[in-house]
Amino acid sequence: MASISVFGIGKLGLPLAASLANKGYQVIGVDLNQNVIQAVNEGRSPHYEPGLAELIKSARGHLSATEDYHYALQNSDISFIVVPTPSEPDGSFSTRYVEISAEQIATSLKDRHNFHVVVLTSTVLPGATEGVVKPLLEKISGRKCGEDFGLCYNPEFIALGSVIRDFTHPDVVLIGESDSKSGELLAEIYRNVCENEPPIVRTTIYNAELAKISLNALITMKITFANTIAEICERMPGGDVDTVSRMLGFDSRIGRKYLSGGLAYGGPCFPRDNKAFASFARRVGCQARLSLATDEVNQEQVERIVRLIEQELDGVKDKNIAILGLTYKPNTDVVEESAPVKIASSLKQKGARVSVYDPAGMGNAKLALGERIKYAGSVEECLTDAQLCILATPWEEFKKLKPEDFTTRMKKPVLLDCWRLYNRSEFSKKLEYMAIGLGPRC
C-alpha cells in the first residue's frame, strides 16, 4: 500500500487524511498549527466535524502529524495539497499557500530518486496547476513532471458536516492527470477508499479545474432558482415550494438536491466559487451572466427576509427578536457567509434587540457579530421574551421543538420558519406561524 502525506490538515484535509488512514494507509499530516499537530498525535480531533473524532481514534497507528515537511515527503509516495486558496478582490483564487506547499515538496523531491505523485486538491482556477504549480515543482526540484514525478488535480466534492461520508461515498471521482501512471496510482487509492464504487473520471488537468468550479457555480444557480420559486409561492394562494420542488426533482434532468427553497446560500465554497467562475470567464473573454445574476439575487435574499420581519412587526426598532441557528448549514460550526449571521447583523443595525443560539457556531458567531448581540446558552434562553423567532438553520435539535416551546417563553409568539421544519396546521393553532415558500391558505 502506498504511503501518503497530506499538506494542510484543516477542516477538509484532516477528514481526508483520517479517512485514508482508516482504510489502512500510512498517512502523515503536515501543518504549522501546533495545536492541530498535538491533537492528531494524541488521537483527538481539533476540528468540529461529525464522525471525525471517532475516525481519528480508529486510525491510531496509521495517522500522525508533523510540521516537518521533509520528513513527511521522504516517508510517502503520494502527497495531497489541501490548503486554503483565499479569494482575491477580483474574485479569483490566490495560490500563495499552494505555492508554499509546492515549494516544500519540490525541495524534498531533490533528494528522492523514486517516482512521487503530487496531488493538488485545493480549489484553483483553470491553469493554476500546470501554470503555477508544475513550473515551481520542476524548477526547485530539478526534475521533470511526468517522468520523475507525477502531478494531478483532484478536487473533492464534499461539504462541511458530511465530509467523511462524501469522501468515502462520492458521486464521482475527478482526476486531472499529467500522465497516465500518476492518474492510475491515484485512481487505485480511490478504489480502495470509496465504499460505493463511484465513476472515476480521468481527464486533462485544465478540464478538471474547470469542472470543479463549474459544478459549484451550477449548484448556486439551482439554489437561487429554488429560492425564487419560494418567493413566488409566498405570493400565491396555497403556494408550496416543497410541492413544486418535489415535482421538479422527479425529472432526471434536474434532480431534487439543492431545490429546497429557503435562505441564501453561504459557507466557504459556494459564494466564492461562483464569483471565481465569473472571474475566470472574464479572463478568457466570456461573460458569465448567469453567475453574476445568481450572486446578485443571493445577496438580495437577506434583506428580503429582513423586510418580511419589518412588515410583520411594523418595524424592528426596540423589538426582541430571537434567531435559532447561525451556521450556514447544520452539522458544522462555520458561519462564513452565513445568511443567519447577516440577518442578525442587519436587524441589529436597524435597532432590534437580537438574541441568538446555535448548537455549534456560537464561538465563531461572536467573532463575526461582536458584542452587539445577546448570546443565549440554550433555546429556552434565546426565546425568552422574544416577539418574533426566526428558525434560521435546520439543526436536528430544533426539529424536536413543539408549539409550547415557543408560546410559553415568547412575549408574542410569532415564528418565521425558514425551512418549513414544523407542521403548519399544528403550529398555526397555537401561534402565528410564517414560513418561507408557503403562500396564504386557500
The answer to the question of residue 106 being in a domain is yes
**In a shared domain, residues 36 and 176:** yes
Q: What are the residue ranges of helices labelled H in 63-204?
A: 69-74, 96-109, 128, 134-141, 163-168, 180-193
User: Are 278 and 93 spatial neighbours (Cβ–Cβ below 8 Å)?
Assistant: no
**In a shared domain, residues 295 and 177:** no
Q: Using alpha carbons, select from 364, 324, 373 the residue that is nearest to residue 345.
A: 373
User: Are 386 and 409 spatial neighbours (Cβ–Cβ below 8 Å)?
Assistant: yes
**In a shared domain, residues 157 and 299:** no
Is 382 in the active site? no
User: Are 368 and 392 spatial neighbours (Cβ–Cβ below 8 Å)?
Assistant: no
The enclosing domain of 35 has a CATH number of: 3.40.50.720
The answer to the question of residue 50 being in a domain is yes
The answer to the question of residue 220 being in a domain is no
Longest Cα separation, the chain? 75
pLDDT attached to residue 1: 83
Domain limit, last residue, from 150, 179, 203: 203
Q: Mind listing the pLDDT tens digit of every residue in the chain (442 residues)?
A: 889 999 999 999 999 999 999 999 999 999 999 999 999 999 999 999 999 999 999 999 999 999 999 999 999 999 999 999 999 999 999 999 999 999 999 999 998 889 999 999 999 999 999 999 999 999 999 999 999 999 999 999 999 999 999 999 999 999 999 999 999 999 999 999 999 999 999 999 999 999 999 999 999 999 999 999 999 999 999 999 999 999 999 999 999 999 999 999 999 999 999 999 999 999 999 999 999 999 999 999 999 999 999 999 999 999 999 999 999 999 999 999 999 999 999 999 999 999 999 999 999 999 999 988 999 999 999 999 999 999 999 999 999 999 999 999 999 899 999 999 999 999 999 999 999 999 998 7
**In a shared domain, residues 197 and 269:** no
pLDDT attached to residue 113: 82
Beta bridge partners of 7: 30, 81
CA torsion sign for 133, 135, 138, 139 is negative
d(CA 410, CA 251): 43
253: exposed, middle or buried (C-beta count within 10 Å: 0-12, 13-18, 19+)? exposed
First to last CA, the chain: 64
Cell numbers at residue 300, please?
438580495
Cell numbers at residue 401, please?
421543538
Q: Which helix (H) or strand (E) holds 20?
A: helix 13-22
CA torsion sign for 132, 136, 142, 146 is negative
Q: Which of 145, 152, 269, 389 is catalytic?
A: 269
User: Are 294 and 220 spatial neighbours (Cβ–Cβ below 8 Å)?
Assistant: yes
**In a shared domain, residues 194 and 246:** no
Give me the number of domains the chain comprises.
2
**DSSP code, position 116:** E
The answer to the question of residue 227 being in a domain is no
The answer to the question of residue 215 being in a domain is no
Domain limit, last residue, from 203, 222, 256: 203
pLDDT attached to residue 117: 98
The answer to the question of residue 233 being in a domain is no
Side chain identity at residue 182, one-letter code: S
Q: Helix (H, G, I), strand (E, B), or coil: what is residue 81?
A: strand
User: Are 93 and 112 spatial neighbours (Cβ–Cβ below 8 Å)?
Assistant: no
247 contact partners, CB below 8 Å, separation of at least 6: none
Q: Using alpha carbons, select from 186, 256, 187 the residue that is nearest to residue 219.
A: 256
pTM for the whole structure? 0.93
The answer to the question of residue 441 being in a domain is no
**In a shared domain, residues 131 and 278:** no
**In a shared domain, residues 97 and 148:** yes
User: Are 386 and 416 spatial neighbours (Cβ–Cβ below 8 Å)?
Assistant: no
Range of the domain at 170: 4-203
* Cα 385 to chain centroid, rounded: 34
**In a shared domain, residues 345 and 287:** yes
Cell numbers at residue 272, please?
466564492
d(CA 75, CA 70): 9
**In a shared domain, residues 171 and 291:** no
Q: Helix (H, G, I), strand (E, B), or coil: what is residue 221?
A: helix
Beta-strand relationship, 414-417 and 388-391: parallel
**DSSP code, position 411:** S
